[in-house]
Amino acid sequence: MASPQVENGHIDIANTIADKFCSYRLSGQEWQIIWAVLRKTWGWLLDPNQKNGAKKKMDRISLSQFEEMTGIDRRKCHSILNKLAEKQVIKKTVTQKGDRIYITYGFQKNFDLWKVSPKKVTVTHIGDGVSPKEVTKVSPKKVNTKEKKETITKDKELYTSNFISFWESYPRKIGKGAAFKAYQNIKNPKPILQIILSSIEIQNKSDQWKTIEFIPHPATWLNQRRWEDEHVYKETAEQYAKRKGLL
């Protein structure tokens, strides 16, 4: 049976902040990320030997740590972190030292800066002798299956099947139009699709690609012919594909 004790570590949150937590609506995954940030900052002593000492305000938290704590894919974590930073619920600082980039996160306790929507409003209507009826404002309905099919069909009309395969495999989804233009303008010698996909598979396992900011835009990756890079064990994407029996 779980028996959590304050003595084993705790997070101090002012009641006014807790009240704001109650009154603002965020997604479940956004709350997971917020609590992960709080745990790594306000829940972490600067000096472990001082039980009542100061807590961290900011911390360098990797995407893999967010993934481990929340169970959310690290690329999704990156997207949620950016959204929360835009809403100013969390603070994000980017520092470059030489050729390295360090990102730190913290919680924004000044809730006047938060750009989030308040919780749903319930309106009570009282008619002639009729019991009050609650009417709750709801979010717009989800996209139905027909609309999803139309989107897929539209993609197939706009883009080639090979490009769609590339786009689905590439981890950073940004600048789709520019990426398609770059894909169409690949100069000779043009690689077969499997070479490109094998290269993405190799690079996706690298330490560099664990941080979304270090993954090139897809158009840049294509324009620079990055499938020709040598990867693990000085192996090209073509050699990798042959070793895997893909060619």
Helix H or strand E segment including 124: strand 122-125
Cα–Cα separations (whole angstroms), residue 180 to 64, 141, 183, 186, 212: 30, 31, 5, 10, 20
Other beta carbons within 10 angstroms of residue 202's beta carbon come to 20
Closest by CA to 63, choosing from 40, 46, 45, 43, is 40
DSSP letter assigned to residue 214: G
* Domain 9-113 falls under CATH 1.10.3720.10: no
pLDDT at 184: 93
pLDDT of residue 134: 47
Question: What is the model's pLDDT at position 135?
Answer: 43
Q: What is the mean pLDDT of each run of 10 residues along the chain (247 residues)?
A: 80 91 90 95 82 86 90 89 91 79 90 79 46 46 50 63 89 92 91 87 83 89 88 59 61
- Domain edges within the chain: 9-113, 145-243
Taking the model in full, what pTM does it have?
Answer: 0.50
Q: Which two tokens stand for residue 70?
A: 């929340």
Cα-based torsion angle of the residue sequence 188, 193, 194, 200 in order, rounded to the nearest 10 degrees: 90
Specify the pLDDT at position 242: 66
pLDDT number for residue 235? 59
For residue 80, give the nearest of 28, 117, 41 by alpha carbon: 28
Q: How far apart are the first and last CA of the chain?
A: 55
Amino acid identity, position 141: K
Output the pLDDT for position 154. 52
- In angstroms and rounded to an integer, the radius of gyration of the C-alpha atoms of the chain is 24
